[in-house]
Copies of this chain bind each other. A is one copy, B any other.
């Protein structure tokens, strides 16, 4: 204390400017050696207010109109067993046209039995995620046939690429679940589900994704998840450990593999996302509310089937409503209409009391400015709409045709920033701030104040990708663009990657299963 006073006195003789500079450089050198900030991106809760697209009246009208679509017009169900199940449950089925008309009572029964919130389980409790309420789950891109990176450009995806995205998705905490990401085109389609499911289970503890491409593939993949989690069939079917996404064939159609997927996943108690593919102006009415009416009707039809199969089956209300470029007919993403549709979709999902899935998407052909602003628009729209699950949230490019390694890293940075924002809570007390202000002379600075020193390690988000150095330093360091820095980051992450723990016996059982199914010819996709 006495010593502090002496130091203080001595310093007060220095010119103010020199004092400041010395202090600052001391702090800066102290800080550069400080430890990394602890982050918590695993169980996100979205504290933002939901933005609305519609008044309560209008929302009710859209819901009513969707019920009218199901009751008066119906939906074409191509799958005979699904039609039979609908019929037994009380729907009006025309076997000639395959049109199933579903009345309000049936929909209300389904909505009553579908859980409004549930947990999707990982290999460990740490990797569990909650769907519903104010939870927010980010999943990586899924579906693109192509992969791209700065080194080799755009090319068909291979299993190695798939495994790389799985590793990155495991590495970053802000990615909560797995997908098969880019298509492993070097693996014949009858074996692909085996390889992609095995890769997700061996390289990651996060809940895996399974495509609904027919019962044979689905049942094999579910079996693999069961083995990996070390459960018997009954225990496995009690809770969801993996998930699939069901796209309706808008307008008003559910095809064979989609119906089969709903049946198989619901029977096994695994998580379903029912996502109509309602592009306004193409497969749906050109107005956003019109597209949402169709989306709502189709989603409710799929949800109803899941609950007919197994009341209480965990199901997520999915939306993918966007618009098309009316000049070319191609889909557009991250548009203002996409955002408004997301706000409306969130309202509809809450109206029926189900968890809601949205997306981050862009039409851009490379990970540049357009890719980032369209993704930022769609991601903000989805998060502000109150989504519980944001699919395609890292790596998506080119309307879903390409998975980009650099874009993946840019998106992870964006998701981490979003996570900080939605979880932000300032608990610091105002008296401490007043004292800090009182301790610094007018025109001075806070670099060396106790208030700063006791907090600087954890005060701010530390970027993964952003370069905050000034132009001179940045130029000296090689004028690296965001893409170049992203390229270095994913390479380092892959280099350092260590597969998570898996019990040897389980790993062997899994390998044996894959080997046996492969010898038996795998399972071709069904359509």
> Which residues of A in the span 429-483 have a Cβ within 8 Å of any Cβ on B?
430-434, 436-438, 440-447, 449, 451-452, 455-456, 459-461, 463, 465-471, 474-475, 479, 481-483
Chain B contacts of A456 at CB under 8 A?
Answer: 281, 286, 326
Report yes or no: B434 in contact with A287, Cβ–Cβ below 8 A. Answer: no
Report yes or no: B426 in contact with A286, Cβ–Cβ below 8 A. Answer: no
Chain B contacts of A61 at CB under 8 A?
Answer: 430
Given A289-B426, A293-B433, A340-B421 in contact, is the A443-B76 Cβ separation under 8 Å? yes
Report yes or no: A459 in contact with B65, Cβ–Cβ below 8 A. Answer: no
Given A65-B433, A293-B437, A401-B471 in contact, is the A337-B369 Cβ separation under 8 Å? no
CA distance A370 to B474 in the complex (A): 13
A183 CB to closest chain B CB (Å) equals: 16
Write the A62-83 contact mask toward B (1 if CB under 8 angstroms, else 0): 1011001100110110000000
Report yes or no: B443 in contact with A251, Cβ–Cβ below 8 A. Answer: yes
A333: nearest chain-B partner, CB-CB: B468
Chain B contacts of A294 at CB under 8 A?
Answer: 433, 437
Report yes or no: B282 in contact with A445, Cβ–Cβ below 8 A. Answer: yes
Report yes or no: A467 in contact with B370, Cβ–Cβ below 8 A. Answer: yes
Chain B contacts of A287 at CB under 8 A?
Answer: 426, 428, 432-433, 451, 455, 459
A50 CB to closest chain B CB (Å) equals: 8
Report yes or no: A437 in contact with B289, Cβ–Cβ below 8 A. Answer: no
Write the A295-332 contact mask toward B (1 if CB under 8 angstroms, else 0): 00100000000000000000000000001011111101
Q: Is A290 an interface residue (CB 8 A)?
A: yes
A397: nearest chain-B partner, CB-CB: B471
Chain B contacts of A402 at CB under 8 A?
Answer: 471
Report yes or no: A280 in contact with B376, Cβ–Cβ below 8 A. Answer: no
Report yes or no: A369 in contact with B370, Cβ–Cβ below 8 A. Answer: no
Report yes or no: B442 in contact with A370, Cβ–Cβ below 8 A. Answer: no
Report yes or no: A459 in contact with B289, Cβ–Cβ below 8 A. Answer: no
Q: Is A252 an interface residue (CB 8 A)?
A: yes
CA distance A344 to B433 in the complex (A): 15
A477 CB to closest chain B CB (Å) equals: 10
Chain B contacts of A426 at CB under 8 A?
Answer: 53-54, 58, 287-289, 340, 344
CA distance A452 to B281 in the complex (A): 6
Chain B contacts of A160 at CB under 8 A?
Answer: none
CA distance A459 to B284 in the complex (A): 13
Chain B contacts of A433 at CB under 8 A?
Answer: 65, 285, 287, 289-290, 293-294
Residue from B32, B73, B284, B364 in contact with A327 in the complex, judged by beta carbons closer than 8 Å: B32
Chain B contacts of A461 at CB under 8 A?
Answer: 335-337
Q: Is A52 an interface residue (CB 8 A)?
A: yes
Report yes or no: B401 in contact with A326, Cβ–Cβ below 8 A. Answer: no
Report yes or no: A466 in contact with B374, Cβ–Cβ below 8 A. Answer: yes
Report yes or no: B460 in contact with A335, Cβ–Cβ below 8 A. Answer: yes
Report yes or no: A369 in contact with B366, Cβ–Cβ below 8 A. Answer: no
Report yes or no: B286 in contact with A369, Cβ–Cβ below 8 A. Answer: no
A453: nearest chain-B partner, CB-CB: B286
CA distance A297 to B329 in the complex (A): 54
Report yes or no: A365 in contact with B466, Cβ–Cβ below 8 A. Answer: no
Chain B contacts of A154 at CB under 8 A?
Answer: 471
A426: nearest chain-B partner, CB-CB: B289
Chain B contacts of A32 at CB under 8 A?
Answer: 327
A522 CB to closest chain B CB (Å) equals: 30
The 3 closest A-B pairs by CB, nearest first: A290-B433, A336-B420, A369-B482
16 additional A-B pairs beyond A54-B426, A370-B467, A381-B421, beta carbons within 8 Å, are: A48-B51, A65-B433, A69-B434, A99-B442, A252-B437, A280-B459, A287-B451, A339-B424, A340-B421, A340-B426, A344-B426, A364-B466, A373-B414, A376-B376, A376-B380, A401-B470
What would 15 A/B residue contacts be, using CB atoms closer than 8 Å?
Answer: A28-B329, A53-B424, A54-B426, A73-B437, A281-B459, A285-B436, A286-B455, A290-B433, A293-B433, A294-B437, A336-B417, A365-B471, A370-B467, A373-B376, A398-B471
